[in-house]
Chains A and B, each alone.
Chain A
Amino acid sequence: MPFDKKPYFGILVFPGTNCETDCFHVLNNILKVRCKYIWHKESHDDDINAIIIPGGFSYGDYLRSGAVARFSPIMSFVREFASKGGLVTGICNGFQILLEENLLPGAMLRNNTLKFICRYSYLKVIDAGNPFTSGYEKGKIISMPIRHNEGNYYIDEKGLIDLKENNQIILKYCNSDGITDASSNPNGSIENIAGICNKKRNVFGLMPHPEACCEKILGSDDGRAVFESMINNII
């Protein structure tokens, strides 16, 4: 049943996706909610009521990250699901796919350092009035792993004004004191942006990997509230 109140997550899998099992583990083993993988060739799913597009390198990042995955059959379902208000989170490559699909505004450029980044980064929760970060306090400083080559978020001036006016900026890169400046910007993203949502506030994209930091034993459980927020806000 779509939009059944009991959470049932669909985790999309494209050729080259590689973070799907981490997402499955967090949802199924830690948070004890139902979830399943959905292969990109599927065109529909009647069971799920939330979607995760996990990280990885769909189609080898050929042409541009996310550019080819966008044309997979499952993406027309994602469009329809989002248009009905269903919750969709894209993590890393999932964020890039949502940008290419125009479900989120802007685009990703190569990191301005021209290096692949793989480390923890501090993040500031800029907005908590949405279904994805409602479990955090606004202004909280958290820490999550980032691992990407194309995470340099770009949007034109008009788009940036729109994002700000509609409180669509959700996460920003910062230092341990919460300062968001050039020295705490790992990849050159405009205004240190690490995560945004759409105007309707039901589609969320972020470059950091919350699924990789949901247990203290792994060093941090700062990512857990992203999934908990979604679970609490499923329509």
Chain B
Amino acid sequence: MPVKGQVNFIMLKVNVYVTLKKEILDAQGLVIKKAIKQIGYDNINEVRFGKFIQLEIDDRDKTEEDIKKEIDYLGDKLLSNPNIENYRFEMVRE
């Protein structure tokens, strides 16, 4: 919401997706796949379970490159554990 007296700006939303690396057995994904089969769908080849994190960023005075660097820093340091997980993100302007 724009604040009175402040210049209106468009909020940047960043959607971060965290999943287990390919080589790691995804026990939760396997269980979901089994459940889908029980529902009656045989055409689901693989299910990977992951986390979705949405950040709202005030990106005034920052370039897209700056923001990407910030998200990468957070992605490696906190949002994912690089030993077992990968992450990717997309930026959405609303």
Chain A positions within 8 Å of B, measured between CB atoms, are 63-64, 67, 71, 100, 106-107, 109-114, 154-156, 188
Of chain A, the residue at the smallest CB distance from B81 is A107
Within 8 A of A (CB), among B56-88: 78-79, 81, 83-84
Chain B positions within 8 Å of A, measured between CB atoms, are 20, 24-25, 27-28, 31, 51, 78-79, 81, 83-84
Task: Name the residue in B24, B27, B83 with the highest tally of chain A Cβ atoms < 10 Å from its Cβ.
Answer: B83
Q: Which residue of the partner chain, among A71, A100, A114, contacts B27 with CB atoms under 8 Å?
A: A114
A67:B31 contact, CB within 8 angstroms: no
Distance in angstroms from A109 CB to nearest chain B CB is: 6
A199 vs B51: C-alpha distance when bound (angstroms): 33
Could you show 30 A-B contacts with beta carbons less than 8 Å apart?
A63-B51, A63-B78, A63-B79, A64-B81, A67-B78, A67-B81, A71-B78, A100-B81, A106-B83, A107-B81, A107-B83, A109-B20, A109-B25, A109-B27, A109-B84, A110-B27, A111-B27, A112-B25, A112-B27, A113-B27, A114-B27, A114-B28, A114-B31, A154-B24, A154-B83, A154-B84, A155-B83, A156-B83, A188-B25, A188-B27
Secondary structure class of chain B's binding surface, majority of residues: mixed
How many A-B pairs with Cβ below 8 Å?
Answer: 33
In the complex, besides A107-B83, A109-B27, 12 extra interface pairs with C-beta distance below 8 angstroms are A63-B79, A67-B81, A71-B78, A106-B83, A107-B81, A109-B84, A110-B28, A112-B27, A113-B27, A114-B27, A155-B83, A188-B25
Q: Which residues of B contact A71 (CB under 8 A)?
A: 78
A106 vs B82: C-alpha distance when bound (angstroms): 10
Distance in angstroms from A160 CB to nearest chain B CB is: 12
A107 vs B23: C-alpha distance when bound (angstroms): 14
Of chain A, the residue at the smallest CB distance from B23 is A156
A113 vs B84: C-alpha distance when bound (angstroms): 18
Closest 6 CB pairs of A and B: A107-B83, A107-B84, A112-B27, A107-B81, A114-B27, A154-B84
